[in-house]
Amino acid sequence: MAKGKATIFFCQDCGYESSKWMGQCPGCGGWTFVEEVIDKSAPAKVRKEAAKAEVVKIADIKTGREERLTTGLKELDRVLGGGIVKGSLVLVGGDPGIGKSTLLLQVCRNLSVQKTDVLYISGEESLQQIKIRAERIGEFGDTLSLLCETNLDTIKEVISRTKPEIVVIDSIQTMYNENITSAPGSVSQVREATGVLMQIAKGLGISIFIEGVVAGPRVLEHMVDTVLYFEGDRHAAYRILRGVKNRFGSTNEIGVFEMCNEGLREVENPSEYMLSGKPEGASGSVVACSMEGTRPILLEIQALVCHSNFGMPRRTAAGTDYNRVNLLMAVLEKRLGLSLSSCDAYVNIAGGIRMNEPAIDLGIVLAIVSSYKDVPIDEKTICFGEVGLSGEVRAVSMTAQRVQEAEKLGFTTCILPEVCKAGLKKNPNINVVGVSNVQDAIRYILSKEK
């Protein structure tokens, strides 16, 4: 080993460090201890750099509006906060096969058509494989360059020499530094690769997209500027792009895409797609409204309640929080006297989308009661509101936007919290019904059926 070098061992799952190999990690109990070489001369280098560092007062720093570059995908621009910020480092995470590479390749296509210099670096596919996948997406401009490489030193040299405006790394798990003995994809290699790319992005003003799996001790999320998570069932058509971290915009926005043969297609009106195929006259189905950032999304909540043949009833929740469903069922049993403790209950949000906003509580409650009593809810009725442990229906934000979206899609009745009704303007096209508790909401639904 070179002079001034030392060896440490750390856990790839939780980051626990040790001076010797321990086998099982004391921190998380895993068996993922790996070796890493550290440079003992680093403190001396740091002291030399610290002597040159200058302190700047915040009043002396001049700022301007950050430069943004549109990607050609409105849904992606919405999640990014308006476009790509110059010199930003963006991580696109998600499960394998969910469509991350397809999304980034479509961004490269749109940018190349705009005559933007783009460098696509792949460590997983050959040039021919990328070309075949690109031909399925569409025509590319002549400003897109490809590089198949996994060595960080080579990648750094190529980027410094060509100076593209946008760089795409596919994927960060395949990149490696020769000075680190651990295998590519380990925590040390990922941390080193991300650190090098961050220096390039900030030093040269190049925007870099990194594709990777968000897992382990969350090394990537802390280092990058923006974290986008691509989620959804890989066997379903819809994909949700969610902003988990964003230094240049809101983290509440989402983008909705549909997987097609030609790649990912933007879904500009998710509510219409989520409600397509909704059954008519069926009990246990109701439409609720959830807010994702500034966008209202209407979704169908389905519930199936039936008597159990076993001592312990089965409860299942797909697309929402399982514990929240159990809580709402306990509220119904306690406040309304419904005998749900002997019933199996299955709650599902149709369309493969996942929503956890408290505003869908009222929709879950009405769907469960509708299925339990076998009473269908009018197809033109929509509801939203948070339900408390006392059975009260609490206020939610952005009520006007939710009602406006419901009216746009042809709904005639909106059940919402009573406290939210006062701030709404009168609208002759939709009947707004305010409820103070779940008893009022259920009483209204049953009276409409009669």
pLDDT, position 61: 82
* Residue 189 confidence (pLDDT) above 50: yes
Instruction: Return d(Cα 192, Cα 190) in angstroms, integer.
Output: 5
Q: How confident is the model at residue 77 (pLDDT cuts 50, 70, 90)?
A: very high
Dmax (CA) for the chain in angstroms is: 87
pLDDT, position 29: 80
Place of tokens 């030392």: 6
Instruction: Return d(Cα 233, Cα 213) in angstroms, integer.
Output: 16
Q: Look at the alpha carbons of 164, 166, 171, 175 in this order and tell me if their dihedral is positive or negative.
A: positive
Distance of CA 87 to the CA centre of its chain: 22
pLDDT, position 225: 93
Q: Per-residue pLDDT averaged across 92-96, rounded?
A: 87
Range name among 32-46, 81-95, 181-195, 374-388 with the lowest pLDDT average: 32-46
Count the neighbouring beta carbons within 10 Å of the beta carbon of residue 378. Answer: 15
pLDDT digits (tens, 9 = 90+) for 239-254: 889 888 999 888 878 8
Q: How confident is the model at residue 1 (pLDDT cuts 50, 70, 90)?
A: very low
pLDDT, position 74: 92
Q: How confident is the model at residue 369 (pLDDT cuts 50, 70, 90)?
A: very high
Instruction: Return d(Cα 271, Cα 276) in angstroms, integer.
Output: 9
Q: Which residues have C-beta within 8 Å of that of residue 108, sequence separation ≥ 6? A: 118, 120, 140, 144, 166, 168
| Pairing state between β 386-387 and 393-394 | antiparallel
Range name among 5-14, 192-201, 404-413 with the lowest pLDDT average: 5-14
Instruction: Return d(Cα 320, Cα 347) in angstroms, integer.
Output: 8
> pTM, whole model, 2 decimals?
0.76
pLDDT digits (tens, 9 = 90+) for 101-115: 999 999 999 999 999
The fraction of the chain above a pLDDT of 70, given in percent, is: 92
Q: Per-residue pLDDT averaged across 25-35, rounded?
A: 77
Instruction: Return d(Cα 303, Cα 71) in angstroms, integer.
Output: 40
The conformational region for residue 224 under phi > 0 = left, psi -120 to 50 = alpha, else beta, is beta
Q: How confident is the model at residue 447 (pLDDT cuts 50, 70, 90)?
A: confident
Per the prediction, the chain carries an average pLDDT of 87
Three-state SS string over 318-354 comes to ECCCHHHHHHHHHHHHHHCCCCCCCEEEEEEECCCCC
Residue of higher predicted confidence among 204 and 20: 204
Q: Per-residue pLDDT averaged across 206-214, rounded?
A: 87
* Residue 389 confidence (pLDDT) above 90: yes
